Amino acid sequence: MGWEMTAEMKLDRINRWLTLAANIGVVIGLLILIIELRQNASLTRGAMEAEKNDRLAAIELSLASPAAAAAWTKSIRAPEDMTDAEIKIVESHLVAIMLQWDNMFQMEAAGLASRARVTRHIKNVAPYYFGSAFAKRWWRNQMDGWDGTPMMDVAGPIVEALDDDFMSETLDDNRLTSAAEETE
């Protein structure tokens, strides 16, 4: 009977070591999975950030075309004189900005960006696109479609607080003066 106890004890001991090794293997596997998930999230965040930046660059390049630049400037300086075609040109750029912001909200929903990051981005970008009476009026016309969404919760108060003359003053501030104008 002593021999059977010894064999049973050895078998029990081996079983405990195998169980411990299996548990360690599971823990190591979970750690590797967590590391891979974080790397994947980081890659996804990077790709979405690049997409956001690409969209903003495309908007800016589009505004550099003569027709878009003229329409954009008219929306700031003389919106009452805009043609329907010019309104559509400017509107397409404002829609693109809102889509960029929506992309940021999607990143937030996926856990790839914080609300503070989204808010900071909108605060940085909004004045340069919605800082005119025309753009703010256009924004207000869009509000019903976005009511109850993060777009209105976050961007709504930011856009509403913008100075209607921000873009006009920015254009004026960016204009260089001649030496004769500076001495006057």
pLDDT tens for each residue of 114-154:
999 999 999 999 999 999 999 999 999 998 888 889 999 99
| Residue percentage of the chain with pLDDT more than 90 | 47
Mean pLDDT throughout 37-53? 71
| Residue percentage of the chain with pLDDT more than 70 | 88
Q: Is the dihedral of CA 163, 168, 174, 179 positive or negative?
A: negative
Burial class (CB in 10 A: 0-12, 13-18, 19+), 35: exposed
**Residue 152 resides in a domain:** yes
Number of domains in the chain: 1
**Phi/psi at 170 (nearest 5 deg)?**
-65, -45
**Residue 87 resides in a domain:** yes
**Residue 19 resides in a domain:** no
**Residue 107 resides in a domain:** yes
pTM of the model: 0.70
Domain extent at residue 118? 46-175
**Residue 92 resides in a domain:** yes
